């Protein structure tokens, strides 16, 4: 069973205030996938976790149809970790990327491999680098599709 489905089960029991079971499923995610996906995280439908080693702060919010690659880190920059990202819909986060701090990632954004995103990203953009910078901004969401992802991510 993949990590997102296990998270869904843990989240269901967490929201129903069932004791112990959410934590059991959270530990199962760690054992099977070596990923930290807490029961408190709000994850939209269609989101896919494409590998292990993913670390997520328990206060983040993830939209619908988000692709999260292997070794991605999403969380705060400070020790307290209170300021965390909000990720929009239809976002592609390539392997090894870090999304850190009190930022917002807009809808239809693609984040390149090993990018370090520490500033908010507007909708319909491709970002890459350390720190991440906008490489290309697509004027409208209609132009942003799977072939556009493939065209730009063949270089990352």
Residues 57-107 pLDDT 10s: 999 999 999 999 999 999 988 766 568 999 999 999 999 999 999 999 999
Query: Could you give the CA distance from residue 3 to residue 115 in angstroms, rounded to a whole number?
Result: 23
Q: Are 118 and 134 in contact (CB under 8 A)?
A: no
Question: Rounded to two decimals, what is the model's pTM?
Answer: 0.86
Lowest model confidence (mean pLDDT) among 1-15, 22-36, 77-91? 77-91
Query: Could you give the CA distance from residue 126 to residue 134 in angstroms, rounded to a whole number?
Result: 6
- Domains in the chain (CATH in brackets) are 1-40 (no CATH), 45-153 (2.160.10.10)
Tell me the pLDDT tens digit for each residue of 102-127: 999 999 999 999 999 999 999 999 99
The set of residues, in sequence order, having a beta carbon less than 8 Å from that of 136 and lying 6+ positions away, is 125, 126, 152
Peptide bond into 3 cis (omega under 30): no
């Amino acid at each position: 069973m993949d990590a997102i489905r296990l998270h869904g089960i843990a989240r269901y029991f967490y929201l129903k205030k069932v004791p112990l079971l959410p934590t059991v499923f959270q530990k199962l995610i760690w054992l099977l996938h070596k990923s930290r996906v807490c029961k408190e995280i709000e994850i939209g439908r269609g989101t896919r976790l494409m590998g292990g080693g993913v670390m997520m702060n328990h206060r983040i919010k993830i939209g619908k149809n988000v692709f999260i690659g292997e070794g991605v880190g999403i969380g705060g920059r400070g020790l307290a970790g209170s300021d965390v990202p909000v990720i929009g819909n239809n976002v592609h986060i390539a392997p090894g990327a870090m999304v850190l701090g009190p930022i917002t990632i807009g809808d239809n954004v693609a984040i390149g491999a090993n990018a370090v995103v520490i500033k908010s990203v507007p909708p319909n953009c491709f970002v890459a680098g350390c720190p991440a910078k906008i490489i290309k901004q697509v004027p409208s969401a209609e132009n942003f599709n799977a072939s556009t992802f493939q065209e730009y991510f063949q270089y990352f």
